[in-house]
Amino acid sequence: MENPLAGAPSPDIDLHFLRRALNLAAENVERGDGGPFGAVIAQDGRVIAEARNLVLAENDPTAHAEIQAIRAACRKVGHFHLENCVLYASSEPCPMCLAAAYWARVTRIVYANSRLQAASAGFDDADLYRELCLPAAARRILVAQRTLAEANAPFAAWHNSAKRQMY
Amino acid sequence: MENPLAGAPSPDIDLHFLRRALNLAAENVERGDGGPFGAVIAQDGRVIAEARNLVLAENDPTAHAEIQAIRAACRKVGHFHLENCVLYASSEPCPMCLAAAYWARVTRIVYANSRLQAASAGFDDADLYRELCLPAAARRILVAQRTLAEANAPFAAWHNSAKRQMY
């Protein structure tokens, strides 16, 4: 088997991990567990988590490959932040997964297929990016605030809590 | 105990469920399981899932209250779409949770505290909304595409798969 890292004067580890993410995506279609998406998280050049999209298998709309990979990597390192980690995704992360990567504080993200290429496969992530960047009143899903006098109470409790830890 | 729905000619069920989400948020601070956030999902006016933010307890940066509630509601209904469901959140959903609500196809979202009120408690979701709406080159986290000849293979397999099911 060809080792893509062998013999190269400047081995392109990014392409190596992206190929692994693409293989996971293809494997996922074969299994029928979810969409054609895979993800890998590497820390200091070593894989610490791999995942596939499990939306169909788990009836979980949040079980995108990147979310699954972030969860698995956090379990591995025992922390909710992923220091010095790169997220490799077979396709450009949707806004849910991109925001999750920010919460996890990954260092950078590399992907193979763009949101437009994913759209051609029936996944209109570009549309979702447009929706999220619209003012609330212009979105398809109604998102509305209701003000309550007691709404600040959880924040006040958090401010005063000895268990408070920022994430 | 006062029943907020009793005796009202036009009971405000939205405020009722928002109060429950705020109670879950306050309870979460007391337990120290995560940030001061709670969420409720109601289907046809009845609660089908409740959740708290478990980021600290589970070392999971994706375990926001809304994500946990969507996952629990989907387990309850046995499907990855939530028909006729309303998501009630103690605070305006961050982009991760808002996108998750789109994937889950909730009907609408109601929240108590705005992203600016959350920012005053140390949760700068407004900043995250700005980041996601920037062009990739302008973001704090580098998000880059690498093109590979074989990148389309998972999409082609998906297109031809008998197990394909859009979500």
Q: What is the pLDDT of residues A36-56, one digit of tens each?
A: 999 999 999 999 999 999 999
Q: Which residue in this structure is represented by tokens 């806004």?
A: A95
If we measure between CA atoms, which residue out of A77, A88, A67, A63 comes closest to residue A12? A88
A15 part of contact set with chain B, CB < 8 Å: yes
Q: Which residue in this structure is represented by tokens 């080159």?
A: B137
pLDDT in tens, B125-163: 999 999 999 999 999 999 999 999 999 999 999 999 999
pLDDT over 70 (residue B1): no
Determine the distance in angstroms separating the CA of B47 from the nearest CA of chain A, rounded to an integer: 18
Q: Write down the pLDDT at residue B10.
A: 42
Structure tokens at B19: 């109060």
Percent residues over pLDDT 70 in chain B: 93
- The verdict on a CB contact (< 8 Å) between A109 and B22 is no
- The verdict on a CB contact (< 8 Å) between A35 and B158 is yes
In chain A, the residue whose alpha carbon lies closest to the alpha carbon of B78 is A59
Mean pLDDT of chain B: 93
Element housing B25 (H / E) = helix B13-31
Question: Can you name the residues that pair with A88 across neighbouring β-strands?
Answer: A40, A110
- In the predicted model, what is the mean pLDDT of residues A109-117? 96
Q: Write down the pLDDT at residue A3.
A: 52
pLDDT over 90 (residue A26): yes
Percent residues over pLDDT 90 in chain A: 92
Mutation choice for A interface testing from B20, B30, B80, B161 by most A CBs within 10 A:
B80
Q: Write down the pLDDT at residue B81.
A: 98
Phi/psi for A118 (5° steps) reads -65, -35
pLDDT over 70 (residue A6): no
- The verdict on a CB contact (< 8 Å) between B30 and A80 is no
pLDDT over 60 (residue B69): yes
Better pLDDT: A3 or A153: A153
- In the predicted model, what is the mean pLDDT of residues A126-132? 95
Confidence of residue A150 (pLDDT cuts 50, 70, 90): very high
Q: Which residues contact B160 (CB under 8 A, 6 or more apart)?
A: none
Q: Which of A74, A129, A158 is opposite residue B59, by nearest beta carbon? A: A74
Query: Which residues of B are known catalytic residues?
Result: 66
Give the global pTM.
Answer: 0.93
ipTM: 0.93
Q: Write down the pLDDT at residue A10.
A: 42
Determine the distance in angstroms separating the CA of A92 from the nearest CA of chain B, rounded to an integer: 8
Q: Write down the pLDDT at residue B163.
A: 92
B152 part of contact set with chain A, CB < 8 Å: yes
Residues from chain B that touch A157, judged by Cβ atoms under 8 A, are 26, 29-30, 36
Determine the distance in angstroms separating the CA of B162 from the nearest CA of chain A, rounded to an integer: 9
In chain A, the residue whose alpha carbon lies closest to the alpha carbon of B106 is A141
